C-alpha cells in the first residue's frame, strides 16, 4: 500500500466539507463543491489554496548562484534580488526532470518544486553539489505554503500585511509580517492565470494563517478552492503540469518553453536542447478547442485524416470559454497540414480547432 500523507490543514478541509483524494502522495482537497463553479469564482473574486504538498528547497553557500545556474535552464546570475524566474531541471539529453520557480534571495536561492518530484529533485541536486560549497536545505516539512488567487487578492491580504503587497511586481517577492507571522515570504505568483500571491512561512503557523485569511476574506468573496479547479485554471492559462505536458521524455523545445531557457545553453542538458531547437522538434505541444460537450482525456488519440498523429495531454471543460479545451503533442509535420485535426473519443470522431496557448489572458479575459 502506498503511503498518503495529510497536510497540516486536513482537518480544516474536512470541516469545510471538502472532497478529499490522493495527489502526488498526499491526501488533498479536490473540491468543496462544483469544480467549474470554483474555477469561475477565482476568475471573478478570490480563492485560497493549500499548497503544503509542494516542495520548498533552499540552496546556500558562496557559490550557490553559479551552482544553480548550472542546474536550471533559466539564467540565475542575471536574476535580480527579489525576483523570480520559471525554469526547468533537465538531464544531459535535454529531457525534463521537473519545472521549478527560482527565487533570488540576498545570500541564497529558493526553489519551489512539484510535490511528486521532490525526492528525485533533491537527489538530482545533491548529486551535483559534490566539490562545491553549496548546501541544499529541504524546507518542505518545516515551512507551509498557501496561495491566494483572484482579482480581489490584493484587497484581501493587504489588511493582514505589515507592508503593501500591491507594491510587489509580478514574479517578485518580499518579506512581510502576514497575519501576525513575521518574515513571511510573499510572492506575486500563482498557477491560475489570475493576480494573486503565494505565501511561505513556518508550518506550525499554517492553521492560524489559513483561519485569519478566511475570517478576514470571506466577506470580500474569499472561498477555499480545491486542486481540481486549480487544474482547470492552470490549463486555461496555458501552464504546464508535470505528468501531463511535461514528463521524463519531454524537452522544453517540444513543450514550447524556450522562454525559460538561457540562450547560453551552459546548463546541464543545454547542448542537447540547443541542438533540438536548431533542427526543430519532431513533435510539438498544441492547444485545441473541441466541438461538443465531451471532455478530452489524457492519452486520447489525435487524428489528421485517418492517421494518428499525436495524443492529448490535458483536457477540461472550461467555464471561462464555455467549451472543451485541451493540450496535446502532435507530429510537427502534421501541425500545419491541410487535413483537419480530430479526437477519437469513445469511438466517435470529434473535430478540434488548434489554438495558440494560452486560452485565457488576464488582461482582456479571453
Cβ proximity of 354 and 287 under 8 Å: yes
Among 178, 212, 236, which residue terminates a domain?
Answer: 236
Average pLDDT over residues 272-300: 96
Q: What domain range includes position 74?
A: 55-138
Whether the pLDDT of residue 364 is over 70: the answer is no
10 and 159 part of one domain: yes
In a domain, 248, yes or no: no
pLDDT reported for residue 2: 63
DSSP character string of 94-149: S-EEEEEEEEE-SSEEEEEE-GGGHHHHHHHHHHT-TTSS-EEEE-TTTEEEEEEE
Q: Do 209 and 70 share a structural domain? A: no
pTM over 0.75: yes
What is the structure's pLDDT at 31? 98
One domain, residues 221 and 294: no
Q: Does one domain contain both 227 and 108?
A: no
Rg from Cα positions in the chain: 21
Question: Can you name the residues that pair with 172 across neighbouring β-strands?
Answer: 83
- Residue 287 counted as domain residue: yes
Domain at 84, CATH number: 3.30.70.1400
Segment 203-222 mean pLDDT:
98
Q: 344-359: per-residue pLDDT in tens? A: 888 789 999 999 999 9
| Domain membership flag for residue 9 | yes
**In this predicted model, what pLDDT tens digit does every residue of 148-175 receive, in sequence order?**
999 999 999 999 999 999 999 999 999 9
Kindly state the percentage of the chain with pLDDT values over 90: 93
Classify residue 264: in a domain, yes or no: no
- Asked if residues 257 and 226 have their Cβ atoms less than 8 Å apart, the reply is no
Which whole-number Å values give the CA distances from 331 to 281, 317, 343, in the listed order?
A: 9, 25, 15
Over residues 271-289, mean pLDDT: 97
Query: Is the residue at 261 inside a domain?
Result: no
Within this chain, do residues 124 and 173 fall inside the same structural domain, yes or no? no
Tell me the pLDDT of the chain averaged across its residues: 96
**Is residue 241 assigned to a domain?**
no
Question: How crowded is residue 272: how many other Cβ atoms within 10 Å of its Cβ?
Answer: 18
Domain boundary pick from 80, 107, 138: 138
- Do 131 and 60 lie in one domain? The reply is yes
Q: How confident is the model at residue 116 (pLDDT cuts 50, 70, 90)?
A: very high
- Say yes or no: 49 and 152 in one domain: yes
Position 210 in a domain = yes
> Per the domain annotation, does 306 fall within a domain?
yes
Res 74: pLDDT? 98
Note the pLDDT of residue 73: 98
Do 15 and 145 share a domain, yes or no?
yes
Query: Given a cut of 60, is residue 107 above it in pLDDT?
Result: yes
CATH number at residue 307: 2.40.30.110
- pLDDT confidence tier of residue 3, bands split at 50, 70 and 90: confident
Q: Both 334 and 351 in a single domain?
A: yes
Mean pLDDT, rounded, for 253-261: 98
Q: pLDDT tens across 63-105, in order?
A: 999 999 999 999 999 999 999 999 999 999 999 999 999 999 9
Same domain, 178 and 129: no
Using DSSP bridges, classify how beta strands 283-290 and 55-60 pair: parallel, antiparallel or unpaired.
Answer: unpaired
- Total structural domains within the chain: 3
Greater model confidence, 306 or 110: 110
366, pLDDT greater than 50:
no
Distance CA 243, CA 232 (A): 15
The reply to whether 152 and 85 lie within a common domain is: no
Q: Is the domain of 127 the same as that of 172?
A: no
Q: What residue ranges in the chain does DSSP mark as E strands? A: 5-6, 19-23, 26-31, 46-50, 55-60, 84-90, 96-104, 108-113, 135-138, 143-149, 173-178, 181-187, 196-202, 222-224, 283-290, 301-304, 307-318, 323-331, 341-345, 348-355
Out of 88, 121, 138, pick the residue that ends a domain: 138
Amino acid at each position: 500500500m502506498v503511503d498518503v500523507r495529510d497536510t497540516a490543514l486536513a482537518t480544516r478541509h474536512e470541516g469545510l466539507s471538502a472532497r478529499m483524494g490522493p495527489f502526488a502522495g498526499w491526501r488533498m482537497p479536490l473540491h468543496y463543491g462544483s469544480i467549474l463553479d470554483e474555477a469561475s469564482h477565482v476568475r471573478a473574486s478570490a480563492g485560497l489554496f493549500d499548497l503544503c504538498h509542494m516542495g520548498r528547497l533552499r540552496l546556500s553557500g558562496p557559490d550557490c548562484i553559479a551552482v544553480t545556474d548550472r542546474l536550471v535552464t533559466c539564467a540565475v546570475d542575471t536574476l535580480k534580488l527579489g525576483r523570480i524566474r520559471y525554469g526547468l531541471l533537465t538531464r544531459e539529453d535535454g529531457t525534463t526532470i521537473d519545472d521549478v520557480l527560482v527565487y533570488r534571495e540576498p545570500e541564497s536561492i529558493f526553489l519551489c518544486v512539484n510535490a511528486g518530484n521532490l525526492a528525485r529533485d533533491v537527489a538530482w541536486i545533491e548529486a551535483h553539489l559534490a566539490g562545491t560549497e553549496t548546501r541544499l536545505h529541504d524546507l518542505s516539512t518545516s515551512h507551509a505554503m498557501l496561495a491566494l488567487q483572484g482579482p480581489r487578492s490584493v484587497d484581501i491580504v493587504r489588511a493582514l500585511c505589515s507592508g503593501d503587497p500591491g507594491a510587489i511586481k509580478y514574479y517578485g517577492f518580499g518579506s512581510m509580517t502576514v497575519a501576525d507571522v513575521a518574515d513571511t515570504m510573499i510572492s506575486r505568483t500563482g498557477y491560475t492565470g489570475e493576480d494573486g500571491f503565494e505565501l511561505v512561512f513556518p508550518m506550525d503557523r499554517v492553521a492560524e494563517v489559513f483561519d485569519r485569511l478566511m475570517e478576514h476574506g470571506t466577506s470580500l468573496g474569499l472561498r477555499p478552492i480545491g486542486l481540481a479547479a486549480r487544474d482547470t485554471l492552470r490549463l486555461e492559462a496555458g501552464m504546464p503540469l508535470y505528468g501531463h505536458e511535461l514528463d521524463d521524455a519531454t524537452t522544453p523545445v517540444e513543450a514550447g518553453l524556450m522562454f525559460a531557457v538561457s540562450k547560453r545553453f551552459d546548463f546541464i542538458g543545454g547542448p542537447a536542447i540547443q541542438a533540438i531547437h536548431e533542427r526543430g522538434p519532431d513533435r510539438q505541444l498544441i492547444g485545441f478547442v473541441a466541438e461538443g460537450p465531451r471532455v478530452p482525456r489524457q492519452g486520447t488519440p489525435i487524428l489528421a485524416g485517418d492517421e494518428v498523429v499525436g495524443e492529448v495531454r490535458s483536457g477540461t471543460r472550461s467555464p471561462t470559454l464555455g467549451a472543451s479545451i485541451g493540450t496535446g503533442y502532435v507530429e510537427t509535420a502534421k501541425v500545419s497540414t491541410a487535413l483537419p485535426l480530430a479526437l477519437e473519443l469513445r469511438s466517435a470522431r470529434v473535430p478540434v480547432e488548434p489554438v495558440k496557448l494560452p486560452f485565457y489572458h488576464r488582461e482582456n479575459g479571453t
